[in-house]
Amino acid sequence: MLDKLKALKKAIEKVVDQAKDAAGLEQVEIEYLGRKGKLTALLKGVADLAEQDRPKVGALANQIKREVQQLLEVKKRALAGGQFSVLGETEREDVTEPGIRPPEGHLHIVTQAIREITQIFSNIGFMRTRYPEVDWDWYAFESLNMPPDHPARDEWETFFVDAPISKKGKMVLTPHTSNGQVRELERHELPVRMISIGRCYRRQSDITHVPMFHQFEGLYVDKQVSISHLRGVLDYFAKEFFGSGRTTRLRPHHFPFTEPSFEIDISCGICGGTGVGKDKQKCRVCKSGWLELGGAGMVHPNVLKAGGVDPKKYSGFAFGWGIERTYMMKEGIQIDDVRTPYKNDLRFLKQF
């Protein structure tokens, strides 16, 4: 048995050496190591040996099997390497061949909306500004005519930051972009025509609310600014952004930092302003044919004062709208849940 094994090893070494390509080598492997291979048969025969011979012969048989496997592997690599060196000699890279285009992304729909909104307002002289997303309570609430304990603060469901308290109060994740109003007035450059766009944070999540969203805040302060100016600017924006077929309405409302105050609604783009969805049930987005886009009003005298502006000489209007909701209401955009753009589902995002 031992002699047979040694002879077989020699025979394998010879045929492996002579193999010219991968197919030939595979043939050798099948012939000797396959299920019915010659070496496999010898290995099986070890079990029939007398008990005292089995350990010695078994060990040698396994050792030979390992050596043969190694030999095959080395030869396989040698043949593959050879193949590439031949390719290197016979083939050339064609640098004129068109490349493979990598997948290309695009701006997120919120960024697209921010750019469009910025452009529309810049056409009528509003300058884009940015104010902190983490700000003092003074700018987010108190300077806006909302002293501590003012009940209106509840509506903003604010995240407070665990930071040292300063003269300007606690730190908050800004729940609206209105913190930019007094910050802009403090620059003392009148008249003001600001469009401030930024992220806002509130403890809310449902079909029309996300915990992180964006607002654009308009502020116009000059001599003799009236509600007509406010209506004119908002109508201009609505026509530019949504198209002439849509209508807006002002509803009386209360904000502590504007007087009088309004909420602005737009006819719903999902149900066409009817309030009834495709399933003949109430439209799941607006429920009434109108969707609230944001608030607006004439800047409260106390806010002008907090920003160092004399309310006897100057007046102004302000508005703050949600970008996600505004985009949802755009012509042809059928997004029926404000959370969808933030799910990072490429099948959805690729459509825009």
Each residue 214-253 as x (binds ligand FA5 by CB under 6 A) or -, in order, gives: -x-x------------------------------------
Please give the structure tokens belonging to residue 150: 């003012």
Q: Is 202 among the residues that bind ligand FA5 (CB under 6 A)?
A: yes
Contact indicator for 203, 291 with CB cutoff of 8 Å: no
Interface residue with ligand FA5 among 292, 301, 311, 342 (CB under 6 A) is 292
Which among 257, 185, 274, 169 has a CA at the least distance from the CA of 221? Answer: 185
Q: Is 258 among the residues that bind ligand FA5 (CB under 6 A)?
A: yes
Please give the structure tokens belonging to residue 46: 């070890």
Q: Is 43 among the residues that bind ligand FA5 (CB under 6 A)?
A: no
* Residue 195 CB, nearest approach to ligand FA5 (Å): 12
* Residue 319 CB, nearest approach to ligand FA5 (Å): 5
**CA pair distance 333, 352, nearest whole angstrom:** 9
Q: What is the DSSP letter of 157?
A: -
- Our CB check for ligand FA5 shows the closer of 9 and 176 to be 176
Contact indicator for 69, 43 with CB cutoff of 8 Å: no
* Residue 181 CB, nearest approach to ligand FA5 (Å): 7
Each residue 170-199 as x (binds ligand FA5 by CB under 6 A) or -, in order, gives: ------x-x---------------------
Stretch that binds ligand FA5, among 23-31, 234-242, 255-263, 282-290 (CB under 6 A): 255-263
- Our CB check for ligand FA5 shows the closer of 32 and 327 to be 327
Interface residue with ligand FA5 among 131, 139, 220, 255 (CB under 6 A) is 255
Q: Is 210 among the residues that bind ligand FA5 (CB under 6 A)?
A: yes
Contacts of 332 (CB under 8 A, 6+ apart): 269
* Residue 320 CB, nearest approach to ligand FA5 (Å): 3
Number of residues near ligand FA5 (by CB under 6 A): 26
* Residue 134 CB, nearest approach to ligand FA5 (Å): 17
For residue 127, the cross-strand partners are 194
Contact indicator for 213, 185 with CB cutoff of 8 Å: no
**CA pair distance 65, 32, nearest whole angstrom:** 10
- Our CB check for ligand FA5 shows the closer of 26 and 259 to be 259
Q: Is 336 among the residues that bind ligand FA5 (CB under 6 A)?
A: no
- Our CB check for ligand FA5 shows the closer of 180 and 273 to be 180
Collapsing DSSP states into helix, strand and coil, what is residue 193? Answer: strand
Q: What are phi and psi of 42, to 5 degrees?
A: -65, -40
Q: What are phi and psi of 294, to 5 degrees?
A: 170, -175
Contact indicator for 296, 233 with CB cutoff of 8 Å: no
Residue 119, CA atoms < 13 Å, CB-side half-sphere: 8
125: left (phi over 0), alpha (psi -120 to 50) or beta: left
* Residue 340 CB, nearest approach to ligand FA5 (Å): 12
Per CB under 6 A, contacts with ligand FA5 among 295-334 are 295-297, 318-322, 324-325
* Residue 245 CB, nearest approach to ligand FA5 (Å): 21
Interface residue with ligand FA5 among 166, 204, 226, 334 (CB under 6 A) is 204
**CA pair distance 283, 97, nearest whole angstrom:** 54
Contacts of 166 (CB under 8 A, 6+ apart): 136
Q: Is 213 among the residues that bind ligand FA5 (CB under 6 A)?
A: yes
- Our CB check for ligand FA5 shows the closer of 256 and 273 to be 256
Contact indicator for 244, 301 with CB cutoff of 8 Å: no
Residues in touch with ligand FA5 (CB under 6 A): 176, 178, 202, 204, 209-210, 213, 215, 217, 255, 258, 261, 292-297, 318-322, 324-325, 338
